[in-house]
Amino acid sequence: MPGRIAVSSRVEPEEQHAPTYVVPRERIVSIEHPCIVRNFDDGIKSLGGEPQLKHALEHKVGDSLLNLEKPMEEPQLGLSLRPHDRFAKKLSSVGVQSRNVLMKITVPKRTGRKRKRGSNDPFVLHSETDIPNNGSLNALDLLRSLKDNADDYQVEAIGTVNEIHRFRNLPDFQLGSSDNTTLRDIAKHALNPRYDSIKNLHIHMTPGAAHIGPLTAPPFFIGQAQPYSYAYQQAAGVSITTDATGVIKTTNKQAPPKKVVIAIAADAPSIPSGPPSNLTSMTPFGSFVERCVADLSALLETRPIMTKRVAQNSLPNYSDTVFKEATQWVSYSFSSGPWRDTLIAYGIDPRSDPKYRVYQTLMFQLDRKAMGVHAAPSTSASKWNRSVRHLSDSSKSHEFTGKAVTNNGKTWQIIDIHDPLLARILATSTLPSTCDVHTNGWYHSGTIAKARTIMRDHMEFLFAGLEPPEAEYEAVALLPDAIRDEDVEGMVPDASKGARVARLAAAVRGQARMNNKDSRRRVEMEREWKVLKGEIVEEGEGVEEGVREVGEEAGSGASAGGELEPVLEAEDA
């Protein structure tokens, strides 16, 4: 029974403004060919010919869902963009169900003759180029023709389009076979359905490089049905400009301003005296950065070297973004060494005077598992929480008193260690004559090793909720400040002190040896690098270990050749 397209029955016939059309119940399958088909024979051939079209018509979209136990085959078409090349890769169609109506609209042919709009003059053909091509019309031309011929067109409903085959997948990579002798022989003999032609196909199967000819391509280059889309589009925030020399440049206006963190090597010959000249302020935070810069400058006047945690605890509650931008205007830092990851006021070189040894840092890993806690954990989390590292504790969280320990930081400065025993160890008057810029700074390796070993063990007991063994620490503190690799005398405490004291003493000696070895290795690496760059000439003499003489003159900032390099800001401290 035929279907109908009709207006609602509530509307009276005399009030109907649109005609009614009868839609036949013919089954129509639509194929959306991606090309403009001008030759229907080639168009059908590109779809695999009549056998392939018949296969698609014998099956319906959705048949595989009728019986899930024995699903039927879904209709699928293969489209070749080079139908005359049998080795060309094909596009696979995707069938979808629809309820579209196929309409046949007949409009008068365009003659190309014209006349002045609004006049009754006859239509005149001005030139032969005005004769239109009366082939397939696009949507705009059809609408224009319907408007121009409002009373002279015909509409007919052909049927309902229940299935549409679309080619939306991108084609696989194609391999040109015109210069491949192997593929040419296969196409000439094997694809010809005659025995006398097939038997003439000869392919060299003898192993050996001399007989290897052109290789054929794999069946598929891409192992996925939908290859990556290569239809790129420029980002909305990127502008393209041309400079005075004609070079085209792209600028991302939405990119955040880069933070220039001045981090120099531990043995850099000079230090910067001020912020880099190319530093520009591109902040949307108004006066917040200026206020933070002023507060940081005032703080650095009273304490020229501090960790980021000390600065955060001493300043108002600025956001991390404002704080990071302000630090680049007032301070620099070392990428390694005893003052690593601290904020150092421009023009201050802590390697030049022993008085700056109190600003050296001791860094620890505060993860409970890494620290080897030997008792029940406390109620508070022991892992370092980065998101609240500057806000979850009091303003004194950067100080170590020996009574409690915080978990929102991993670096302490010597000036902030107020534990009586550790403060006494670090207040020693036995100092080296030169600064070890790589590891120990203005202390001997034994002093740093004793402080690190005792403080680490002390924090383990605090995290475990136990009372630290101060008597054992006193025995370890008696070890010498200067420890060389060959030193054994004085490194073995009295056996009556207990096994833990012996283990702590062994840890002190191991830490001192490691510091000495690391310092020598860094000095050797630096010397080898300078030899490769031609800065020094190898003379066969001994190398002085990584030291820096007291009173060495500081440089004048970036222009003094201080080997400055912008680096990513290190996680604090």
Question: Could you report the per-residue pLDDT of 31-46, keeping only the tens digit for each?
Answer: 998 888 888 888 888 8
Phi, psi of 317 (to 5 degrees): -80, 75
- pLDDT number for residue 61: 85
- pLDDT number for residue 561: 37
CA 158/CA 434 separation, integer angstroms: 98
CA 457/CA 186 separation, integer angstroms: 78
CA 470/CA 526 separation, integer angstroms: 41
- pLDDT number for residue 349: 92
Which residue blocks in 384-444 are alpha helix, DSSP H?
420-426
Which residue blocks in 366-498 are alpha helix, DSSP H?
368-371, 420-426, 445-464, 470-477
User: In 3D, which of 280, 270, 407 has the Cα closest to residue 346?
Assistant: 270
Q: Which residues contact 180 (CB under 8 A, 6 or more apart)?
A: 214, 216
pLDDT exceeds 90 at position 53: no
Computed over every residue of the chain, the mean pLDDT equals: 75
Q: Lowest-pLDDT range, 18-32, 96-110, 268-282?
A: 268-282
Residue with tokens 């620099």: 332
Phi, psi of 360 (to 5 degrees): -65, 160
- pLDDT number for residue 213: 62
Report whether 62 contacts 27 (CB < 8 A).
no
Q: Lowest-pLDDT range, 136-140, 384-388, 481-485?
A: 384-388
Give mean pLDDT, residues 310-333: 86
SS3 26: coil
pLDDT exceeds 50 at position 1: no
CA 288/CA 319 separation, integer angstroms: 9
Report whether 153 contacts 106 (CB < 8 A).
yes
- pLDDT number for residue 136: 66
Residue with tokens 């190398």: 543
pLDDT exceeds 90 at position 194: no
Report whether 354 contacts 550 (CB < 8 A).
yes
**Which tokens is 564 given?**
């400055």
Phi, psi of 561 (to 5 degrees): 75, 40
The string over 467-499, giving b where at least 16 C-beta atoms fall within 10 Å of a residue's C-beta and e elsewhere, is ebbeebbebbeebbbebeeeeeeeeebeeebee
How many CB atoms are located within 10 Å of the residue 43 CB?
16
User: In 3D, which of 507, 363, 481, 476 has the Cα closest to residue 427?
Assistant: 481
pLDDT exceeds 60 at position 381: no
548-568 pLDDT, tens digit each: 333 333 333 333 333 433 333
SS3 127: coil
SS3 517: helix
Q: How many residues does the chain have?
A: 573
Report whether 186 contacts 201 (CB < 8 A).
yes
Give mean pLDDT, residues 336-349: 90
- pLDDT number for residue 9: 43
Element (H, E) at 295: helix 288-302
CA 573/CA 510 separation, integer angstroms: 25
Element (H, E) at 157: strand 154-166
**Which tokens is 298 given?**
């005032």
Element (H, E) at 50: helix 49-58
Three-point CA angle 72, 75, 79, nearest 5°: 150
pLDDT-based confidence at residue 320 (cuts at 50, 70, 90): confident
CA 508/CA 449 separation, integer angstroms: 5
pLDDT-based confidence at residue 259 (cuts at 50, 70, 90): low
The string over 356-383, giving b where at least 16 C-beta atoms fall within 10 Å of a residue's C-beta and e elsewhere, is bbbbbbbebebebeebebeeeeeeeebe
pLDDT exceeds 70 at position 69: yes
Q: Lowest-pLDDT range, 323-332, 385-394, 430-439?
A: 385-394
pLDDT-based confidence at residue 244 (cuts at 50, 70, 90): confident
SS3 14: helix
**DSSP at 8:** -
CA 329/CA 300 separation, integer angstroms: 12
- Bridge partners of 154? 106
Q: At how many degrees (to 10) do helices 445-464 and 499-533 cross?
A: 130
Most confident range, picked from 155-169, 180-194, 243-257, 509-523: 155-169
In single-letter form, the type of residue at position 14 comes to E
